[in-house]
């Protein structure tokens, strides 16, 4: 992690960490040519009749310096998806909404990182045991209790729970809760199976443990102390549009979505869920990356101690994915951490080089499709190749 300097002190004498500021690639210890190509590569993703995304915001930096931030394409490009023609129905140019650097995005599964941090905060305080059984906190979740599902299993996706449940199809909140309570592991405990259900159970556990809803835990424990004023659960005005959500390709008929959570289960749960539901800007996510690279502190705020940041970011990782070349490119290999989201969002932070990359795109606008992570990996590789000297100051 980046070391704090003796002169990094706040006005009250408390040790502080450098805050983000905009600067040149050279100031950040990055090659300007590689950074320029990174930005240009992202811009090309919004071009052509079938672009990778309608629009995107990319932000890259090293140390406390943001070396590049760029917005391209459209936050809203399509009016609907034409199933017969197999393409989006584009809005007239005058009706489209250009992408801006401060456009909020539906983070989708990047929400899991915030739920993870909220849990690790409780582990640090000693109120939650990482190897404790979920049934000790939620005895009414009878299947998890019977099979000995642990907090660590939830955080590492090794609980054995299947990827998801059709909660959106249940008739009411009581039925949705009953499904979760009765859900038993479907694979061998200890085997990695990425599952939204892990974070839904973790949400219920945290809310039971603290007596506070998840959105309050995220706000009071993470976003407010870090000054992440553009990060919150929806609905969110001005957000990038996502999908013309209709059956048969989607699980619900909701029409073109903008500012409402895309994930059908999160929507059925009221928009606040452990696995999805948050909206944020690229800058706010850069603040989160910088905080973790600083060992849990940003400015005079501290949300975690360095040992607990290391616990979260050391392989196999808690919530975060570690060294995954399929979306981290050449940044992977020495402890890079990050995550992706179904709507087209991703972030990567690399303690070895003190770099961070946020790429937010509305790849599901106007319709979801098979994930293509090649552009994410390519952007991360550009950043890895840009590292020249020591981090900026």
Domain of 198, CATH number, reads: 3.40.710.10
Q: What is the pLDDT of residue 308?
A: 98
Structure tokens at 248: 């048969």
Rounded Cα gap, residues 363 and 105, in angstroms: 11
Position 15 scores a pLDDT of 65
d(CA 23, CA 65): 6
> Given the structure tokens 């550009």, which residue do they identify?
382
304 lies in some domain: no
Q: Are residues 91 and 169 in the same domain?
A: no
- What is the rounded CA–CA span in Å between residue 357 and residue 30? 13
User: Has residue 177 been placed in a domain?
Assistant: yes
Q: Which residues of 236-253 are buried (b: 16+ CB within 10 A; e: fewer)?
A: beebbbbbbbbeeebbee
The answer to whether the beta carbons of residues 189 and 261 sit under 8 Å apart is no
- 73, 54 contact by CB (below 8 A): yes
Asked if 82 and 178 sit in the same domain, the reply is no
For residue 261, the model assigns a pLDDT of 98
Residues 75 and 174 both lie in one domain: no
Q: Which two tokens stand for residue 166?
A: 């059709």
Q: Under DSSP, is residue 232 helix (H, G, I), strand (E, B) or coil?
A: strand
List beta partners, residue 66: 22, 61
Q: Do 234 and 199 fall into the same domain? A: yes
- Judgement on whether residues 200 and 246 belong to the same structural domain of the protein: yes
Query: Are 233 and 165 in a shared domain?
Result: yes
| Same domain membership, residue 194 and residue 135 | yes
Report the b/e string of 213-235 with b at 16+ CB within 10 A. ebbebbbebbbebbebebbbbbe
Sign of CA dihedral 213, 215, 220, 222: positive
**Cβ-contact 217, 273 below 8 angstroms:** no
Query: Is residue 1 in some structural domain?
Result: no
Separation of alpha carbons 354 and 61, rounded Å: 9
Which residue is associated with the tokens 């393409």? 87
Residue 191 belongs to some domain of the structure: yes
What is residue 269's predicted lDDT score, i.e. its pLDDT? 97
Q: Is residue 253 part of a domain?
A: yes
What is the structure's pLDDT at 393? 55
Q: In terms of domains, do 198 and 171 share one?
A: yes
Same domain, 261 and 150: yes
Q: Report which DSSP code applies to 329.
A: G
Q: In total, how many domains does the chain have?
A: 2
> Any residues with CB less than 8 A from the CB of 291 and at least 6 apart, and which?
17, 226, 297, 298, 301, 303
- Domain boundaries, position 95: 68-102
Assess contact for 294 and 4: CB atoms under 8 A.
yes
Asked whether residue 147 is assigned to any structural domain, the reply reads: yes
CA distance 125 to 107: 28
Q: What is the pLDDT of residue 9?
A: 36
Last residue of a domain, one of 102, 128, 144: 102
Residue 231 and residue 243: Cα distance in Å, rounded?
A: 21
Quote the pLDDT of residue 10: 37
Is residue 322 a part of any domain in this protein? no
Residues 212 and 113 in one domain: yes
Task: Tell me the two tokens of residue 97.
Answer: 């909404």
Same domain? 82 vs 164: no
Report how far residue 260's alpha carbon sits from residue 251's, in angstroms, rounded to the nearest whole number.
Answer: 15
Among 305, 381, 384, 326, CA closest to 41: 381
**Average pLDDT per run of 10 along the chain, which is 393 residues long?**
35 67 97 98 92 97 98 98 94 97 98 98 98 97 96 98 96 97 92 97 98 98 98 97 96 97 98 98 98 98 98 97 98 97 98 98 96 96 92 62
Same-domain check for residues 91 and 155:
no
Q: What is the pTM of this model?
A: 0.94
What tokens were used for 49?
A: 């009749």
Q: Is residue 359 part of a domain?
A: no
Boundary of a domain, candidates 53, 86, 102: 102
pLDDT at 12: 39
- What pLDDT does 188 receive? 86
The residue among 49, 79, 102 that closes a domain is 102
């Amino acid at each position: 992690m980046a070391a704090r300097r003796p002169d990094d002190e706040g006005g009250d004498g408390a040790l502080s960490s450098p805050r983000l500021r905009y600067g040149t690639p050279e100031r950040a210890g990055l090659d300007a040519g590689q950074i320029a190509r990174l930005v240009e590569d992202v811009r090309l993703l919004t071009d052509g009749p079938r672009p990778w995304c309608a629009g995107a915001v990319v932000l890259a930096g090293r140390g406390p310096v943001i070396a590049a931030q760029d917005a391209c394409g459209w936050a809203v490009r399509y009016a609907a998806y034409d199933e017969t023609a197999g393409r989006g129905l584009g809005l007239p140019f005058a009706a489209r909404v250009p992408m801006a650097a401060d456009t909020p995005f539906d983070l989708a599964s990047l929400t899991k990182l915030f739920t993870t941090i909220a849990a690790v905060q409780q582990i640090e305080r000693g109120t939650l045991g990482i190897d404790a059984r979920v049934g000790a906190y939620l005895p009414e979740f009878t299947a998890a209790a019977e099979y000995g599902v642990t907090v660590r299993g939830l955080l590492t996706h090794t609980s054995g729970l299947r990827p998801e449940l059709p909660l959106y199809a249940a008739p009411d909140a009581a039925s949705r809760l009953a499904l979760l309570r009765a859900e038993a592991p479907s694979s061998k405990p200890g085997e990695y199976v990425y599952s939204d259900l892990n974070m839904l159970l973790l949400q219920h556990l945290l809310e039971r443990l603290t007596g506070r809803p998840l959105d309050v835990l995220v706000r009071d424990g993470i976003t407010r102390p870090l000054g992440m004023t553009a990060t919150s659960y929806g609905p969110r005005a001005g957000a990038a549009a996502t999908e013309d959500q209709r059956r048969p390709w989607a699980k619900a008929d909701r029409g073109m979505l903008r500012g409402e959570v895309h994930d059908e289960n999160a929507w059925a749960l009221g928009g606040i869920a452990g696995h999805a539901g948050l909206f944020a800007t690229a800058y706010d996510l850069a603040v989160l990356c910088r905080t973790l690279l600083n060992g849990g502190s940003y400015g005079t705020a501290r949300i975690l101690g360095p040992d607990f940041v290391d616990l979260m970011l050391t392989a196999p990782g808690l919530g975060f994915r570690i060294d995954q070349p399929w979306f981290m490119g050449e940044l992977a290999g020495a402890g890079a951490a990050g995550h992706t989201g179904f709507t087209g969002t991703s972030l990567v932070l690399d303690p070895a080089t003190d770099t961070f990359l946020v790429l937010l795109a509305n790849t599901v606008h106007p319709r979801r499709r098979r994930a293509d992570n090649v552009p994410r990996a390519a952007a991360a590789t550009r950043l890895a190749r840009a590292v020249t000297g020591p981090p900026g100051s």
